Amino acid sequence: MEVLVEAPRRTADRLSNAIRARLRFVLRRLAWLVPRAVVRLSEVERDAGGAGKRCEVRLNVVGTGDVVVAATSRDWLQSIDDALKGAARRLERKYRRVYAD
């Protein structure tokens, strides 16, 4: 699986290895369905006035459309974890609908 991490330079340097490891762990059973994954990190303004950390995960899935999930939190690790968990759940549901017949 090819994993691309798109983030501000300092953030990407710090977190890219952790993102790749966590992504491979979360998708370990269904990794054969995902030839490419893109993880985008960005900072966004939150309603409460502080900066939020946003993580968007896009999984290119073999034979069907992409799975895209985003999560926003106060820190990078929480937003990454939430987005990866959501992407894994959505991929598993898609797998069950398409391949489990």
Residue range 77-101: average pLDDT?
A: 90
Residue range 66-81: average pLDDT?
A: 94
Residue 48, SS3 per DSSP: coil
pLDDT over threshold 90, residue 77: yes
CA distances from 28 to 64, 92, 93 (A): 19, 11, 15
Residue 9 domain boundaries: 2-99
What tokens were used for 19? Answer: 């993102």
Q: What is the mean pLDDT of the chain?
A: 90
Residue range 18-45: average pLDDT?
A: 93
**How many structural domains does the chain have?**
1
pLDDT over threshold 70, residue 48: no
pLDDT value for 85: 96
pLDDT over threshold 70, residue 17: yes
Where residue 73 sits, what CATH number does that domain have?
A: 3.30.160.100
pLDDT value for 101: 61
pLDDT value for 49: 67
Q: Using CA atoms, how far apart are residues 74 and 91, in angstroms rounded to an integer? A: 25
Residue range 36-58: average pLDDT?
A: 87
Q: pLDDT (tens digit, 9 = 90+) per residue, 36-45?
A: 999 999 998 7
